[in-house]
Amino acid sequence: MAGVQYTLNRLVLMIPTFFLVMIIIFLLVRLLPGDPAIAMAGDKASDADIAAIRDKLGLSAPLWTQFWLFLTNTLQGDLGRSILARAPVLDVVLARLPTTLFLTIYAVTLSVLIAGPLAFLAAVNRGKWQDNLIRAVFQVGLSMPVFYIGLLLLTFLAAHLGLFPVGGYGESFVDRLYHLFLPAVTVALYTSAILMRNLRSAIIEVIDAEYVQFARAKGLPNRLILGRHVLKNALISTVTLLGLSIGQLMSGTLVTETVFAVPGLGRSMLEAIFARDYPLIQGLTLTFAVLVSLVFLMTDLFQSWLDPRMRLT
Amino acid sequence: MKAAALAAVLALSTSLTAFPYQSAEAVERGGTLNFARYDGSKLVDPIYADRNPDIWMVGSLFSTLLETDPDSGELVGGLAESYEVAADGKTITLQLRDGLKFSDGSALTGEDVVFSLGRARNPDLGPWSGLLSAISDVTADGRAITITLDNPDPALLSMLATFNTAIVSKAAFDAASGETDQEKSAAIFAAGSPGVGSGPFFLSGFEQGSTMAFSANPHYWKEGEDGKPLPYIDGVNFEVIPDDATRVLKLSAGEVDIAEFIPFSRVKELDADPAINMYLFPSTRIIYSPINTRETRADGSPNPLADKRVRQALNYATHKDALIQLILQGAGKPMSSPVMSSATRLAVDMSPLYGFDLEKAKALIEEAGLEPGTEITLTTLAGSADDATIFAALQQMWQPLGINLVAEQVDGATRGAKNRSGEFDIHTYGWVDDVNDPSQVTGWLGYYPTRKAVGTGWNNAEFNALYEASSTEMDPEKRADQYRQMQEIYAEAAPLLFMYETPFAVAVSGKVDGYIQTPLGNNIFENVSLER
Amino acid sequence: MSDATVSSTQAVVRKPGRLRLALAKPGFMTGIAIIGASVVLALFPGLFAPHDPNFIDYMAVRQPPSWLHPFGTDLLGRDTFSRVIWAYSVNMQMAFLATVFALLIGVVVGALVGYYRGIADLVFGRVVDAIITFPFLVLVIAVVAVLGPGLINMYIAITLVGWVYYARLMRAEVISQKANDYASAGIVMGYSDRRIIFRHLLPNAITPIIVYWMTDMALAILLGSSLGYLGLGAQPPQAEWGVLIAEGRNFITTAWWLSLMPGIAIVLTGLGFSLIGDGLADLLRPRG
């Protein structure tokens, strides 16, 4: 019962969060120099044209009115029309959401698959060459800008060796796995490096902890000890970290989707920012916020389930 | 520039084919062309197309009444087989070809022409209506179209060969969902397929920002070498790949047949690839930088660039050949006319236009009494490698003048806003003609009422008067003379940093024949054939 | 932590033996050496760079590595080695200035709300959630675009967004530490809140923060590079690794040195920070 109550509380708390998100993004986009009318009409349009478009887009109205409209429309599920795409924002978001979701889940899965075993290997061989090698390799992955590593992968694995397609995102599920492998690896390199570091030290911490030492002294076989204690404890921090890094992971898709020509939300976001497409920026930000909030909620629930002290009030 | 480097560039440019000519053998039909674009279309509608990725595709879907011959630059028949201008220049009559059909098989009639031109000149709709403001009425009688003008307009025939007057199907618009013309147009395009085209193709697929597909129009009026209707290919698949490096990789991997907007730094490397033909299509694109000529800057401080001599000095101190070498790897030429590319009609060759002369520049600076160490800001496009290079080079070139050039990187929308508000010293800019007539670019760069002379605030009464006179001057010789005078005035006043002209760099797989990008940028697929 | 007799001072006063132990670790020492060298390069780039990093030589464009230009030359004939060296001052500054204020703000706010909870915690939770649910890069790009591009504005933008990560971490640590016996003991003994927070809780809770800081400094360089790539970070002609890599990425196969050399610099620096982070984690980890 407490769990249900807590979940409800968390859901209620998301309301002020979203309100805050909407205020921030609403004000931020309007503070940006330049406006959609200029971006939309193009450089060639006259000042009078710009003013007319501004009126038509409702940008001449007082900020307060605009925000009220944004708020009430959003609550009714109307995110407005994208200026750039000349289509409802919701359509644009829904068209691109599956691709980004697919890429994100794919990348997270790859990260766990890569980081998990290697972190374990590094931790139990702490200080030995295996440990150093694994950490060094991940460090390289962590330190490479996405726009560089992505291109390296494309150049050598895709264009030169022909192992993967250079762009696109495939049709069927398997085809998608194949098409999105390189972008997913690019995103995963970064996430798995962070994950690996954290997992490794979590495992080491547990190995060093007294109860494990104790268990070891009792003569329990190593494998059993590690299996029982280490993994369970490491799981907590891993999930927490994954949850925390989801926002950054989504940021990663901005550049990754551009480099790999994947038509997802991240690329839309960059385009929308550059075109000052207010409704689309707002809609995409809200979408990101909902996604990230859901992940946080799950993380929170998981965390509080394992460690009730962590509950937010 | 030292001789060795120039020689290398010359060697390169001769190895590049300027125009892909159709091979003499029988053309193969069929196949689908895969095309990697730098940016996606949003709405390919003749009257709403306002961005280059839209404008340049209109011609593939919709034909115009007249066309510009790609070789001679002369006006030739399009959907109309002939045209006639009355002696007073106030009536134009055109005769439509017989048996014209849209891609859905319905007849293309005078009614569609009246409807299309009516949309095109409606000032409440698209941004291009001003180009047709001279028109007072359009009527159709069978295949005969009569256009009545309020006043003679020397550019109007060119406008009938321009994308914004392309012919759309009235029936398709009547049937489309939506209240307003805008809504109908967006609905037609968003539906993706099948569009109703009057050009060589019709729209058969569209996914916002990622893909677009054209299919061959079986009823296209133009015939190929084999006596059957064009186009030769079954269709074109477009894929948007914004990253330059990825676009090139996509071509090298054979996943696409054509990649456009190749960075000039990679032209040589791709040209060396035997499987790829590197084309540098002549264009009307000019790269220049507007200079703020107002007496004071936006913050109220005195503007050193208000002095003509300082602007002239900057122009003399800029080594255009070096810029061309650094940015275009030699694949360009200095601007020879101050207001347009040499590919534009009525361009006067004034080269060398402010040829490099550091002594003259220094003398002008001294004459103007410019304080050493004066700070000037160059606003550049963030993330643009070319702009970063331009800045670094100009900073070094202008140092001897005692000018401390600082950079300010902004995105396109901010730069556009700054240009309008005059909050800049100098900023990078570029232009491609949309219209096959010099009036558009000249009005843009110099005629104050259009856009404050490209935001520079330069307001020259003599220039403005000449421009106004030329817009109704039907005598070609007098008009050419007006244009010559305008170019002279403009060059002397130097409201711009005159830089260079660049071609369109397109990398094309060896199995593709017949692809053309016109000087206005239009992508022409109707003559493309694929070797299989 | 199961030992009920842990004294509140134990975690603060470290046995001298442990410091020696940490210093003896090759990984930690390597990290110190790398970052130490980076700091020296950052402070005195002029001493190590053989050429003027901004000198343009039209005749020596994109030359491969040679004795004269050990890392080759770039698109403008500038010496890549000198540019990579000069970039140290920008990138190291970035690592420090983009994170240190976020750290300070985050630690203080996180400790306070973690300790007092209540309404402040509730409000804090919403602010954190609101900021954290934005894609980081989007928020930073937007803030930089509003303030105008440039390093200082970039630091402000990263700090505005970055502090919540420290605060969130700190809050969680403080809550978990507060539940421990020594904190309860402090409360029972009537110590002031300030003393409990800053003398007892903070030193114990700071370990993961410092370790995260090291990662964050490496991340700040990376983020700065991404912004540089988008043209929103360091302004030309200032050399910055991200900008250098971006300039060279069109030439991965033909002029590989352009992007590889700054790439190595980024990786090395990141490695240095993370080695120090790991070493510090060992060094500072309180032992029950």
pLDDT of residue B10 exceeding 80, the answer is no
Q: How far is CA C25 from CA A136, B107, B287, C29, C283, in A?
A: 16, 85, 58, 6, 10
Q: φ, ψ for residue B411 (rounded to 5)?
A: -85, 170
* Residue given tokens 């694995």 in the structure block: A157
**Fold category of C25-48+71-283 in CATH:** MetI-like fold (1.10.3720)
pTM of the entire predicted model: 0.85
- For residue A267, which of A85, A106, A96, A89 has the smallest C-alpha distance? A96
Checking if the pLDDT of C103 tops 90, the result is: yes
Indicate if the pLDDT at residue C216 is higher than 70. yes
The residue extents of the domains of chain C are 25-48+71-283
Q: Cβ of B391 and C232 within 8 Å?
A: no
The Cα A135–Cα B21 span in angstroms is 57
CA angle A47, A48, A52 (to 5 degrees): 120
Question: At residue C3, does pLDDT exceed 70?
Answer: no
Contact B177, B171 (CB under 8 A): no
Q: What is the DSSP letter of C232?
A: S
Q: Encode pLDDT of B121-165 as tens digits.
A: 988 887 888 889 899 999 989 899 999 999 888 889 989 999 999
Where residue C278 falls (left for φ over 0; alpha for ψ -120 to 50; beta otherwise) is alpha
Q: What is the 3-state secondary structure (H, E, C) of C39-78?
A: HHHHHCHHHHCCCCCCCCCCCCCCCCCCCCCCCCECCCCC
Do B419 and A49 count as a contact with CB atoms less than 8 A apart? no
State the Cα–Cα distance between residues B105 and B223, nearest whole angstrom. Answer: 17
Looking at the complex, does the CB of residue B488 fall below 8 Å from at least one CB of chain C? no
Tell me the shortest Cα–Cα distance from A32 to chain C, in angstroms: 5
CA dihedral A42, A43, A45, A47 (to 10 degrees): 120
* Contact: B392, C59; criterion CB under 8 Å: no
- Tens digits of per-residue pLDDT, B350-364? 889 999 999 999 999
Counting residues of chain A whose pLDDT is more than 70, the rounded percentage is 88
How confident is the model at residue A215, as a pLDDT? 67
- Asked if residue B231 lies in contact with residue B257, where contact means CB atoms within 8 angstroms, the answer is no
Q: Which of B304, B404, B397 is nearest to B356 (CA)?
A: B397
> Which of B250-254, B375-379, B496-500 is predicted least confidently?
B250-254
**pLDDT of B392 strictly over 60:** yes
pLDDT in tens, B329-345: 888 999 999 988 888 88
What's the burial of B275, exposed, middle or buried (CB within 10 Å: 0-12/13-18/19+)? Answer: exposed
> What's residue C2's pLDDT?
35
pLDDT of residue A191: 82
Query: Which residue do the tokens 């329990």 mark?
Result: A220
Mutate to test the interface with B, among C235, C238, C247 (most CBs of B within 10 A): C235
Q: Could you tell me which residues are beta bridge partners of residue A88?
A: A81
The H-or-E segment that residue B383 falls in is: none
pLDDT of residue A234: 66
Whether B269 sits inside 8 A of C254 (CB atoms) is yes
Query: Taking CB atoms and an 8 Å cut-off, how many pairs form between chains A and C?
Result: 153
- Under DSSP, is residue B201 helix (H, G, I), strand (E, B) or coil? strand
pLDDT digits (tens, 9 = 90+) for B167-200: 999 989 888 888 888 888 888 887 766 788 899 9
CA C1, CA C182: separation in Å to the nearest integer? 10
How many whole angstroms separate alpha carbon B99 and alpha carbon C227?
A: 57
pLDDT tens readout for residues B208-235:
778 899 999 999 999 888 888 889 999 9
- Residue with the bigger pLDDT between C239 and B426: it is B426
Tens of pLDDT, residue by residue over B81-126, are 999 998 888 899 999 999 899 998 899 999 999 999 999 998 888 7
DSSP string, A62-98: -HHHHHHHHHHHHHTT---EETTTTEEHHHHHHHHHH
Most confident of A296-310, B230-244, C49-63: B230-244
What is the C-alpha separation between C72 and C52, in angstroms, rounded? 14
Which of A31, A147, A210 lies nearest to residue C249, judging by beta carbons?
A: A147
Chain B contacts in chain C segment 51-110 (CB below 8 A): 54-56, 58-59, 61, 75-76, 78
Do A286 and A74 form a contact (C-beta atoms < 8 A)? yes
- Alpha-carbon dihedral sign for residues A251, A252, A256, A257: negative
Per-residue pLDDT tens digits for A193-245: 888 877 887 777 777 766 666 666 666 666 566 666 656 666 777 777 787 77
Q: What are phi and psi of A254, to 5 degrees?
A: -55, -55
Using an 8 Å Cβ cutoff, are C279 and C28 in contact?
A: yes
Q: How does residue B9 score in pLDDT terms, banded at 50, 70 and 90?
A: very low
Question: Averaging pLDDT over each range in A49-63, A183-197, C79-93, which range is the top one?
Answer: C79-93
d(CA A204, CA B208): 49
pLDDT digits (tens, 9 = 90+) for A112-133: 898 888 988 888 888 788 888 8
Is pLDDT of B42 > 80? yes
pLDDT for B72: 77
Residues 67-86 of C with CB under 8 A from A: none
Mean pLDDT computed over every residue of chain C: 81
* Nearest-Cα residue of chain B relative to residue A83: B42
Distance from CA of C284 to the nearest CA of A (A): 13
pLDDT at residue number C20: 66
Compute CA distances A266 → A94, A100, A258, C138, whole Å.
Answer: 13, 7, 8, 9
Exposure string for B198-225, b = 16+ CB within 10 A, e = fewer: bbbbbbbbbbbbbbbbbbbbebbbbebe
Phi, psi of B102 (to 5 degrees): -80, 170
Residue B201 Cα distances to B44, B96, B104, B109, angstroms: 12, 20, 11, 19
Q: List chain B residues with CB under 8 Å of A55.
A: none
pLDDT above 80 (res B438): yes
Q: Quick one: tokens of C89?
A: 């001052």
> Is residue C1 very low, low, confident or very high in pLDDT (cuts 50, 70, 90)?
very low
Considering only residues B293 and B193, tell me which one the structure prediction assigns the higher pLDDT. Answer: B293
pLDDT over 90 at B311, yes or no = yes
CA distance C256 to B269: 14
Residue identified by tokens 């009030």 is A313
Percentage of residues in chain B with pLDDT exceeding 90?
A: 59
pLDDT tens, position by position, C105-164: 999 999 888 888 888 888 888 888 788 777 777 778 778 878 877 888 889 988 988 898
Answer whether A203's CB lies under 8 Å from A234's CB.
Answer: yes
C142 to chain B, minimum CA–CA distance in Å? 11
Is residue B2's pLDDT more than 60? no
ipTM: 0.81
Q: Which residues pair with B406 in a beta bridge?
A: B377
Which residue reads 């009430």 in tokens?
Answer: A72
Tell me how many degrees the CA angle B503-B506-B510 measures, rounded to the nearest 5. Answer: 135
Asked if B382 and C230 come within 8 Å (Cβ–Cβ), the reply is yes
Whether B301 contacts B423, CB under 8 Å:
no
Tell me what the pLDDT averaged over chain B comes to.
Answer: 88
Contact A210 C246 (CB under 8 A): no
Does C198 lie at the interface with A, CB-CB under 8 angstroms? no
Q: How many CB atoms lie within 10 A of CB C26?
A: 11
Could you tell me which chain C residue has the CA closest to the CA of A292? C133
Distance from CA of C245 to the nearest CA of A (A): 7
Residue C237: asked if its preceding bond is cis (omega within 30°), the reply is yes
Whether residue B5 and residue C59 make contact (CB cut-off 8 A), yes or no, is: yes
pLDDT of C12 reads 44
CA distance B195 to A27: 40
**Residues A254, C137: C-beta atoms closer than 8 Å:** yes
Task: State the Cα–Cα distance between residues B394 and B404, nearest whole angstrom.
Answer: 10
**C210 has a chain A CB within 8 A of its CB:** no
Any chains having at least 3 CB pairs less than 8 A from chain C are: A, B
DSSP A278-304: HHHHHHHHHHHHHHHHHHHHHHHHHHH
Three-state DSSP class for A112?
A: helix
Q: What residues in B contact C236, CB-CB < 8 Å?
A: 380, 388, 391-392, 407, 409
Of A87, A158, A258, the CB nearest to B243: A258
Residue of B34, B38, B42 for testing the chain A interface, max A β-carbons within 10 Å: B42
**Distance, CA of B155 to CA of B139 (rounded, Å):** 20
Distance from CA of C191 to the nearest CA of A (A): 23
As beta bridge partners, residue B290 has B496
Closest residue of B to A148, CA-based?
A: B245
Contacts A86 to B, Cβ<8 Å: 42-43, 186, 190
Question: What does the pLDDT look like over A22-51, one tens digit per residue?
Answer: 888 888 888 887 778 877 777 777 777 788
Q: Of C59, C149, C236, which has the smallest distance from its Cβ to B391's Cβ?
A: C236
Model confidence at C288: pLDDT above 70: no
| 8 A C-beta contact, residue C35 and residue C42 | no
Residues B414-425, mean pLDDT to the nearest whole number: 90
Confidence (pLDDT) at C19: 62
* Alpha carbons A76 and A86: distance in angstroms, whole number: 20
Provide the H-helix boundaries in A76-163: 89-124, 129-143, 146-153
Collapsed DSSP state (helix, strand, coil) of residue B202? strand
Q: Which residues of B touch A267 (CB under 8 A)?
A: 209, 242
Residue C264 CA neighbour count, 13 Å, CB half:
10
